[in-house]
């Protein structure tokens, strides 16, 4: 099966490009911060430096592992759904669900290993740059030399491989059940329970903020993790939440778009489960970026007011924190673009069929644009709710205020990035798909 999987990847590499990119970027982040563990364990490293590197690597490793799993899961889910007809044909020709599962999981494993292998070089460089930031901030002694070994390689390859294999197994299991005509109420219940569990855990993390000493250096961790878990919970529950939000948007969409608005709403409701793969990175990006940037802003302002004796050290720490947060937020944005590209390029045949039925390219782009607007609004609303849930408790405990002093500028910037990424990727990919003649798009996709 591994041989067949490698042959399939070599034969049609384009279908695995999005998954390869997710695995590559995820492995770069995991290995970069994993190298801090190797450096901390090297001989001659003092305890203070080792503790600083181990703590940062552990915290960011938790963030990174979660993001990598969702990035690979969202792209793999879309990729497997693109092959629904192929899977249905394999089932009709005698292939068993186990054989199809082995094939798809094997392909995912090959792509994950390839992405992790390509990530080694950039991760080595990233680890050196990251260690330099720690040295400049005074967190690590200047005599500490960078190391890249078993922890970095094991964590990078392990997370990428486990996330790819696990996501592929779940996606192909759903696809083979759908090909057999089976419905999945148990799967929907499982998704609901998982989403609710993430929301409860996130709420617990956020509420724990009120029980922590206002001067505790680890105070930021509780609302930040709580906001991320809330984002994950909303993302998992995205199909059901999308339907409810579309009920509220149906009137404006129909009024503004006419027949196109009606088609957009109908398409979004009918394919809510598939579009969850797009909403997932959008909600996580919005919630995580909003929460972490505002929380860091509140922390920086509080440190500045606490006294000049800590200002220099904490400004260096602020710079380091912003770099770490920036890396994760940028990865989340890339994950969003990656998922949108995979989801929109999958619709090449659908666009061709619409054009053969009489729709003009402009009308098709109009429908795609309205769908992107509805998805953007849904993702921004849910992500903002998750972010605010972490911001308000931290601000209240740290500063005795309800809202931070930073104003809406940061939030508007995050919203703008998410909107531009969503609309630009959706319309750009759709325009590229429409450049193919309609008859060719239908024939090739078939």
The tokens of 269 are what? 């409701």
Residue 446's pLDDT band (boundaries 50, 70, 90)? very low
Using an 8 Å Cβ cutoff, are 160 and 68 in contact?
Answer: yes
pLDDT in tens, 368-385: 887 788 788 888 989 999
Q: pLDDT at residue 10 above 60?
A: no
For 48-83, how does the pLDDT look when each residue is reduced to its tens digit (9 = 90+)?
888 878 877 887 777 677 777 777 777 777 677 667
Bigger pLDDT: 103 or 312? 103
What would the mean pLDDT of 4-29 be, rounded to a whole number? Answer: 70
For the chain, give the percent of residues with pLDDT over 70: 78
Q: Which pLDDT does position 122 carry in this prediction?
A: 93
Structure confidence by residue, pLDDT tens digits, 137-170: 777 888 888 899 889 999 999 988 888 888 888 7
| pLDDT > 90: percent of the chain | 12
Is it the case that residue 418 has pLDDT exceeding 80? yes
> To the nearest whole number, what is the mean pLDDT of the chain?
79
pLDDT-based confidence at residue 426 (cuts at 50, 70, 90): confident
Calculate mean pLDDT across residues 128-145: 84
Q: Is the pLDDT of residue 172 over 90?
A: no
Looking at residue 203, its pLDDT comes to: 92
Report the pLDDT value the prediction gives residue 256, as an integer from 0 to 100: 57
Q: What is the pLDDT, as a whole number, of residue 6?
A: 58
Residue 399 has pLDDT above 80, yes or no: yes
pLDDT of residue 191: 75
- In this predicted structure, which of 10-19, 252-261, 266-275, 296-305 has the lowest mean pLDDT? 252-261
Top mean pLDDT of 115-119, 239-243, 263-267, 364-368 is at 115-119
Most confident of 6-20, 66-80, 207-221, 259-273: 207-221
Output the pLDDT for position 345. Answer: 73
pLDDT of residue 40 exceeding 50, the answer is yes
The pLDDT score that the predictor gives to residue 412 is 93
pLDDT band at 93; cut points 50, 70, 90: confident
**In the prediction, which pLDDT does 393 show?**
93
pLDDT of the residue at 386: 93
The per-residue pLDDT for 68 is 74
Q: Among 93-97, 246-250, 293-297, 436-440, which range has the highest average pLDDT?
A: 293-297
Looking at 131-140, 290-299, 377-386, 394-403, which range is the least confident one? 131-140
Tell me, what's the pLDDT at 181? 53
At 90, the pLDDT band (50, 70, 90 cuts) reads: confident
pLDDT surpassing 90 at residue 217: no
More confident residue, 137 or 38: 38
């Amino acid at each position: 099966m591994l041989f067949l999987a490698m042959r399939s990847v070599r034969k049609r590499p384009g279908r695995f490009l999005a998954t390869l990119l997710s695995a590559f970027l995820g492995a770069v982040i995991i290995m970069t911060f994993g190298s801090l563990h190797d450096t901390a364990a090297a001989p001659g490293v003092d305890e203070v430096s080792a503790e600083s590197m181990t703590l940062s690597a552990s915290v960011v490793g938790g963030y990174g592992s979660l993001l990598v799993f969702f990035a690979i899961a969202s792209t793999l889910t879309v990729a497997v759904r693109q092959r629904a007809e192929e899977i249905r044909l394999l089932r009709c020709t005698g292939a068993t669900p186990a054989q199809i599962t082995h094939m798809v999981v094997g392909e995912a494993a090959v792509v994950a290993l390839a992405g992790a292998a390509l990530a080694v070089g950039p991760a080595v460089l990233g680890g050196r740059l990251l260690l330099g930031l720690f040295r400049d901030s005074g967190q690590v002694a200047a005599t500490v030399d960078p190391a890249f070994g078993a922890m970095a390689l094991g964590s990078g390859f392990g997370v990428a491989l486990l996330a790819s294999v696990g996501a592929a197994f779940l996606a192909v299991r759903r696809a083979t059940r759908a090909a057999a005509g089976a419905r999945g109420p148990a799967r929907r219940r499982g998704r609901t329970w998982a989403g609710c569990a993430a929301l409860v855990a996130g709420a617990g993390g956020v509420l724990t903020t009120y029980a922590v000493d206002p001067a505790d250096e680890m105070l930021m961790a509780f609302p930040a993790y709580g906001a991320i878990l809330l984002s994950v919970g909303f993302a998992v529950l995205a199909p059901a939440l999308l339907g409810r939000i579309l009920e509220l948007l149906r009137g404006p969409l129909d009024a503004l778009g006419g027949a196109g608005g009606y088609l957009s709403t109908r398409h979004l409701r009918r394919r809510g489960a598939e579009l969850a793969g797009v909403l997932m990175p959008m909600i996580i990006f919005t919630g995580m970026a909003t929460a972490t940037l505002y929380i860091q802003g509140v922390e920086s302002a509080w440190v500045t007011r606490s006294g000049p004796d800590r200002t220099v050290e904490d400004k260096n720490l602020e710079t380091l924190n912003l770099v770490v947060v920036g890396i994760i937020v940028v990865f989340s944005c890339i994950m969003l673009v990656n998922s949108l590209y995979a989801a929109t390029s999958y619709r090449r045949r659908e666009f061709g069929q619409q054009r053969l039925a009489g729709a003009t390219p402009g009308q098709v782009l109009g429908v795609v644009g309205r769908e992107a607007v509805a998805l953007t609004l849904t993702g921004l609303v849910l992500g903002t709710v998750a972010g605010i849930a972490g911001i308000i408790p931290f601000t209240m405990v740290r500063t005795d205020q309800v809202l931070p002093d930073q104003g809406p500028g940061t939030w508007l910037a995050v919203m703008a990035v998410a909107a531009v990424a969503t609309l630009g990727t959706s319309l750009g990919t759709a325009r590229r798909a429409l450049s193919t003649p309609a008859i060719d798009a239908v024939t090739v996709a078939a």
